[in-house]
Structure 1
């Protein structure tokens, strides 16, 4: 089993280092990750500047490279250029904060998993949900291994994209696993204006999350009650219900011939 690990926190982040060590027993581990943090980069790829690859010394029996690009770049160049063969599984994480609800649209962690699925590779995005600044990796590492084993041992109909959020707790304090839907996350956004040393204005995004009541079936509700959330995703964004509505309302007939 060849497992590719990436992230959006950068190759030097604790989460990816600890995850790679934990998964060593399950297969051959390859780390290909951004050289610096690329959080909230979404599914962007690098087009107008070169990508540079650097071999990294992570630990024994783990081959690793850093890339001057995004998480999606890492997956693409890993498969197309670096790895000797297509990996059997892609794991993105462990991200050092949650990727819940509508936040997955912005997430580089989740986008790396989506990119893997575009290559027909089962892909997991793993993030940790913390209620304080302290991160407890014990439960996340234990259940990351269990979930990877589950995907390896269960051949699903289509290569899955699983968005996984694990509470920052010991394995004994985690209440279980829930199969969830994406919840809703909204923020009071604020762009704070500052001045640089040259007197030019620049803006820094700040803000706070808005407390929204989510469905009990949502990923947000699951992690708030100390459960692991596992949300299956798909990259087909087509709104099939609206297709039928637009057909019923004869949208295509406004074209003049």
Structure 2
């Protein structure tokens, strides 16, 4: 088995190193990750300049681009042998609920899925103890399963691991994505040259964080495993939207 590892925290992230160490022996591991932190990059792809790839003494490769760039290059040009799957992480912080819209960690996994490879995004729900080895062991446990998992097209697993020692985990839960409340406001500041700048505010708390959600699972000490389908079509709205569009021909205008 050939496994491509990537992330959005950068090639020197301790989570990426822990993932590599934790998966040794499962097969051939290759690491291609951004040369710096690209948290929040989502699925952005660099199209306005060429990309530089650098190989480091530990064998990891870095790209001066986004997580999506890294997986795209790795699968479509850097290596002669094909990969069997992509694992992205271990992200330094949680990717729960709406976080996945912005997450470069999830984006690296979805790029692998777009290119036809099974993919997992894994994040540590960090409380300051940095139990990356637990998250790495969770991924290994999933990959070593004797029962192959078929999620179907355009689907990945989004895994969030409580920041606990392995023996303190309560188990695994299959979850749905929760939702966060509105993010905090932008934080103004003044730079040394006297110009006004802004920090993006912190993410909101879990607004929909009850039974069945990824928020609740990790709060109760369980590994959250969410199947994520990369199809943004609102299928249950198709019929009512079709009726609305057909009505446009009758009145010539409609309210939105």
1:101-120 correspondence to structure 2 within 5 Å: 101-120=97-116
Unaligned segments of structure 2, at least 5 residues: none
Aligned to 1:29: 29
- 1:214-251 CA-to-partner distances (Å, cap 9, x unmatched) read 231111100000000000011111111111111233x1
CA RMSD of aligned residues (A): 1.7
Q: TM-score, normalised by structure 2?
A: 0.91
Please give the alpha-carbon distance, in whole angstroms, between the structure 1 residues aligned to 2:61 and 2:206.
Answer: 40
Please give the alpha-carbon distance, in whole angstroms, between the structure 2 residues aligned to 1:217 and 1:19.
Answer: 27
Asked if the contact 2:63–2:70 (Cα under 8 Å) also holds between the matched residues in 1, the reply is: yes
Aligned to 2:50: 50
Is 1:178 matched with 2:201? no
Please, which of 138, 142, 148 is the counterpart of residue 154 of structure 1? 148
1:121-160 correspondence to structure 2 within 5 Å: 121-130=117-126, 132-150=127-145, 153-156=147-150, 158=152, 160=155
Q: Once the 2 structures are TM-superposed, how far is the Cα of residue 56 of structure 1 from its aligned partner? A: 1.4
Aligned residues between the structures: 249
Q: Once the 2 structures are TM-superposed, how far is the Cα of residue 208 of structure 1 from its aligned partner? A: 5.6
Q: TM-score, normalised by structure 1?
A: 0.91
Asked if the contact 2:19–2:133 (Cα under 8 Å) also holds between the matched residues in 1, the reply is: no
Aligned to 1:9: 9
Alignment partner of 2:21: what SS? helix
Please, which of 142, 163, 166 is the counterpart of residue 158 of structure 2? 163
- 1:161-183 CA-to-partner distances (Å, cap 9, x unmatched) read 00000111111100000001000
Asked if the contact 1:137–1:170 (Cα under 8 Å) also holds between the matched residues in 2, the reply is: no
Please, which of 53, 58, 61 is the counterpart of residue 65 of structure 1? 61
Asked if the contact 1:137–1:169 (Cα under 8 Å) also holds between the matched residues in 2, the reply is: no
Aligned to 1:239: 234
Structure 1 residues 125 and 82 mapped into 2: Cα distance closer, same or farther (>3 Å)? same
Aligned to 1:98: 94
